[in-house]
Amino acid sequence: MGRLAAALAFVFSLFTATFAATQTMAQSTGKTWVQIEAHPTLSDGERRARAYAALFPDVEGFRLRSGWYAVALGPFTEAEAAQKLRALRSERLIPADSYLHDGSAYTQQFWPVGGASLSTPLPEAVTPGTGDEVAVAEPTPEVVVEPPPPADETPAQARRSEAALSREERKLIQIALQWEGVYNSGIDGAFGRGTRAAMAAWQALKGYEETGVLTTMQRDELVGDYQAVLASLGIRPVRDNTAGISVDLPMALVEKGADQPPFVHYDSRDGSAVKVILISQAGDESTLFGLYDILQTLEIMPLEGPRQRHKGSFEMEGANAEIISHAEARLTKAGNVKGFILIWPQGDAKRRDLVLSAMRSSFEVMPDSVLPDTAGDGGAQDIDLLAGLEIRRPDVSRSGFYFDAEGHVLTSADAVASCERVTLDTDLEVEVLARDADLGVAVLQAKEPLVPIDFGRLQPGQPRLGSEIAVSGYAYDGRLGAAVLTFGQLADLKGLDGDSRVTRLSLKVTPGDAGGPVFDGSGAVMGLLLPPRNDGQVLPDDAAFALSAETLAGFLAEHGLAPVAAEPAGDIAPEVLTTRARDMTVLVSCWN
């Protein structure tokens, strides 16, 4: 027994010395990590490491001596690690309970695959021929056996561990439940019936027993998933002194762009398709309401969605198949308009709601600071851009004209073919009362009562061949802001194929002029300009065609509408005709 005891004592002392040496080696590496999370299974550890690796370049994962799996950032020097910990905590990119670790409890490295941050140094080589050579056997490949996951807590144990949570930790659990879509009550840190029901609903989603009390492991999973999402968004406070706005922004998805008054642009980062625009402008309530109207003409604000305008503020949302946008602004006591726009890609509603909630709750204005009208370099200049934002343009733009005091409009049939929405002058919505594709004419009626300044009166007789005529139309799709008169001559009383319903004109027009009125010298409407022919024939540039006044009158009578006939009169001055034409000619727009 004495020999056995001595042998055992020797083995124990050798093990103790080896273990102490190993500990000393681990603690003397001079490396420090920021430990973020620990999970009971390898699959959970790999999943969380992969999520953080999408945001940070220095993510590593290690198996702990306890059998759990740690996710950490590093390695760094101790000073670097401490600085990193403070910075990432303050930006809320890592959990608040993250801490520094010297790696002494880390064993095998599982992330990244093939990583070697804790590689053990080889034994020192022994000089041959000294008599101290020791035969070393070939190492046996180590077989790593995954330990079974630790048993979870019983409901009683879960309640006891839950009781040790701080109020802020309990609030964080409610926020995470809210993120998961199972909780919609207040964030107060009190676990009442609503919170318990949300916990049970979350447990059901994850396949756990529905106890309504989360175990420590379940709480870690719930909060960890939420914090990983926060990390992927990079939500942090941004103070824009030029705009006079402080707000939490998803800086992992956007980056600072140009200042183009009244907007400060935060453009998409790395193809995220997310954009943020801060609104900062000096002005009063009329400025605010003017901005409300302008935003609805921009491509970033789709037409479908709720709009609310109040005294001193507005909110609006717009959605289509690609994006969903939210805009809000208010008039400050200092006499400034401040707000923001969030543009988010469709199909990512949960993260979008998280960002929008963070922006709304953190939005603050600096009363003494507003974006100057001269800020920035102005960016790209284009008639289709407003402060760097694309103005919404219709699919088809044509001309039309009022033909009675009730505000009915005649236009070309192609202007309203296959349109989801038809407007006059870009914003007044109308409906199609009648349309004849063969004749090429349509009648529109405003959805709200309308009284035009002036309307066209149809020429009752036959026009004189070779007489001077004029066409009023929006030749450049409304870019000039008013109808333009183009002068020419009546070349023939019928079309090229002998169609008596059509007259041929000699003047140069554009597709946008189609649907506009054709005037004789007295200002009477002698026809409606038809779109350019598309029958494959190449005609002279000055060849145009119009539907005659007689044909227009017959079409209107078929649909129970009575146009007004013009009184015989002499020629009027061009400037008088220009004024009359602009008062009755409208821009007809087709939107899809």
- Give the model confidence (pLDDT) of 51-77 as tens digits: 888 788 899 999 988 788 999 999 999
pLDDT band, very low/low/confident/very high, at 13 (cuts 50, 70, 90): very low
Residue 6 CB neighbours (<10 A):
10
From 238, 268, 234, 264, select the one nearest 251 (Cα to Cα). 234
pLDDT band, very low/low/confident/very high, at 299 (cuts 50, 70, 90): confident
pLDDT digits (tens, 9 = 90+) for 173-216: 999 999 898 999 999 999 999 999 999 999 999 999 999 999 99
Residue 34 CB neighbours (<10 A):
26
pLDDT band, very low/low/confident/very high, at 387 (cuts 50, 70, 90): low
Residue 121 CB neighbours (<10 A):
7
Question: Rounded CA gap, 98 and 419, in Å?
Answer: 57
User: What is the pLDDT at residue 229?
Assistant: 87
Handedness of CA 92, 96, 101, 106 (dihedral sign): negative
Spell out the residues 6+ positions from residue 203 whose beta carbon is closer than 8 angstroms to its own.
Answer: 209, 210, 211, 212, 214, 218
Give the DSSP H/E element, type plus range, for residue 26.
helix 2-27
pLDDT band, very low/low/confident/very high, at 118 (cuts 50, 70, 90): low
From 493, 482, 485, select the one nearest 549 (Cα to Cα). 493
pLDDT digits (tens, 9 = 90+) for 104-113: 888 899 998 7
pLDDT band, very low/low/confident/very high, at 2 (cuts 50, 70, 90): very low
* Residues 301 and 343: beta-carbon distance below 8 Å: no
Give pTM, 2 decimals: 0.54
Spell out the residues 6+ positions from residue 159 whose beta carbon is closer than 8 angstroms to its own.
Answer: 213
Mean pLDDT computed over 454-473: 92
Mean pLDDT computed over 528-553: 86
Question: Rounded CA gap, 171 and 169, in Å?
Answer: 5
Ramachandran class of 72: left when φ > 0, alpha when ψ lies in -120 to 50, beta otherwise: beta
Mean pLDDT value across the chain: 84
Question: Rounded CA gap, 146 and 68, in Å?
Answer: 10
What percentage of the chain reaches a pLDDT higher than 70? 84
Mean pLDDT computed over 412-441: 89
Handedness of CA 461, 462, 468, 469 (dihedral sign): positive
From 452, 560, 586, 470, select the one nearest 524 (Cα to Cα). 470
Task: Please name the amino acid found at residue 439.
Answer: L
pLDDT band, very low/low/confident/very high, at 266 (cuts 50, 70, 90): very high
Higher pLDDT, 152 or 85: 85
The encoded tokens of residue 375 equal 């800020």
Instruction: Evaluate if residue 20 carries a pLDDT over 60.
Output: no
Question: Rounded CA gap, 395 and 93, in Å?
Answer: 44
The single residue listed with the structure tokens 């002998």 is 498
Higher pLDDT, 45 or 343: 343
Instruction: Evaluate if residue 433 carries a pLDDT over 80.
Output: yes
Task: Please name the amino acid found at residue 277.
Answer: I
* Residues 552 and 527: beta-carbon distance below 8 Å: yes
pLDDT digits (tens, 9 = 90+) for 320-362: 999 999 999 999 999 999 999 999 999 888 899 999 989 999 9
Spell out the residues 6+ positions from residue 82 whose beta carbon is closer than 8 angstroms to its own.
Answer: 32, 100
User: What is the pLDDT at residue 193?
Assistant: 94
Question: Rounded CA gap, 501 and 128, in Å?
Answer: 114
Go through the domains of the chain in sequence order and give each one's CATH number: 16-111 (3.30.70.1070), 155-233 (no CATH), 235-390 (3.40.1000.10), 394-592 (2.40.10.120)
Question: Rounded CA gap, 386 and 346, in Å?
Answer: 24
* SS3 per-residue string spanning 476-512: CCCCCCCCEEEEEEEEECCCCCCCCCEEEEECCCCHH
pLDDT band, very low/low/confident/very high, at 133 (cuts 50, 70, 90): very low
The encoded tokens of residue 480 equal 């000039």
User: What is the pLDDT at residue 386?
Assistant: 52
* Residues 523 and 458: beta-carbon distance below 8 Å: no
Ramachandran class of 24: left when φ > 0, alpha when ψ lies in -120 to 50, beta otherwise: alpha
| Cα–Cα separations (whole angstroms), residue 224 to 32, 34, 52, 220, 323 | 22, 16, 11, 6, 29
The encoded tokens of residue 186 equal 């207040």
Question: Rounded CA gap, 226 and 480, in Å?
Answer: 52
Quick check: helix, strand or coil at residue 394?
Answer: coil
Question: Rounded CA gap, 243 and 241, in Å?
Answer: 5
pLDDT band, very low/low/confident/very high, at 129 (cuts 50, 70, 90): very low
User: What is the pLDDT at residue 383?
Assistant: 35
Question: Rounded CA gap, 253 and 271, in Å?
Answer: 8
From 142, 144, 104, 118, select the one nearest 60 (Cα to Cα). 118
Task: Name the least confident of 185-199, 233-247, 378-392.
Answer: 378-392
Instruction: Evaluate if residue 144 carries a pLDDT over 70.
Output: no
